[in-house]
Amino acid sequence: MRSVVVFYLCFLLCVGLGLACIICVCVWNSHWRGGFAWDGTAQQFNWHPVLMVTGLVVVYGIAAVLYRIPLTWGQNKLPWKLLHAALMFITLVLSIVGLCAVFDFHNANNISNLYSLHSWIGIAATALFALQWVVGVAGFLLPCSPVSLRKLLKPVHVWMGGSILSLSIVACISGINEKLFFVLKGTINGTQPYSKLPLEALLGNSLGVLIVAFGLVVLRILSNQNWQRQDSRPEDSAYTPLPQEEND
């Protein structure tokens, strides 16, 4: 009972931190960076952090801990599987549009692509996520996938899930840092330098801290064995032609 209460407190913290990340990245880009457009200008770039943080961090993190909610344990697993896959699909769409925003912005302004450490980590995180989504749908949702394959895939899927979240967080931290160095140049463009910690830098740094805190709470939930779904109910296998469904 105590473990369930602690879970819900962690889950609440996770949702609260996720919302705070989204609000923070939206306020930064709308209030401090001039808002949003899709015309090749810096306003188009602003979609990039908003969509990446919302998609590959917050929606992804919430989708990852979905199976751990004790309320779902006694229920048929299929609807939760579909919700998990749907949230991951939303993440996929948001991150693809988020990447299009920055590639398009770079191309429109003759800036080279994929030159920074941030972009390397970021593209790796997105590519691994896309691969994980395709393999996850094929391996766990298609009724024709054999149980032996599901058993083989599950530990890899869980490990990859945590690794992709960690990579996304590293990408966000490096991206925020890079952006703050780009825009807070001091007298050159009429802003205060980053080293003076103006309000915008305070907001950007706080966003980074919130993202790290969100990630740590998600990884904590994922690593607790007591919060793993207990697939003991025979009804769980009723919706699938594979009787050992509860093992995946």
Residue with tokens 């990579």: 167
Nearest approach in angstroms of CB 231 to ligand HEM is: 31
Would you state the structure tokens that stand for residue 121, as one six-digit string? 């980590």
Q: For ligand HEM, which residue of 18, 61, 122, 139 counts as binding (CB under 6 A)?
A: 122
Nearest approach in angstroms of CB 171 to ligand HEM is: 4
Nearest C-alpha neighbor of 184 from the set 173, 171, 174, 198: 198
Residue with tokens 């996520």: 129
CA distance 24 to 216: 18
Q: For ligand HEM, which residue of 15, 26, 83, 123 counts as binding (CB under 6 A)?
A: 123
Residue 33 in contact with ligand HEM, rule: CB under 6 A:
no
Structural contact between residues 47 and 36, judged by C-beta atoms closer than 8 angstroms:
yes
Nearer CB in complex with ligand HEM: 110/225: 110
Residue 247 in contact with ligand HEM, rule: CB under 6 A:
no
Residue 119 in contact with ligand HEM, rule: CB under 6 A:
yes
Nearer CB in complex with ligand HEM: 153/171: 171
CA distance 87 to 23: 19
Residue 179 in contact with ligand HEM, rule: CB under 6 A:
yes
CA distance 98 to 108: 16
Please give the span between the terminal C-alpha atoms of the chain, in angstroms, as a whole number: 26
- Interface residues toward ligand HEM, by CB under 6 A: 48-49, 52-53, 56, 99, 102-103, 106, 113-114, 116, 118-119, 122-123, 125-126, 168, 171-172, 175-176, 178-179, 182
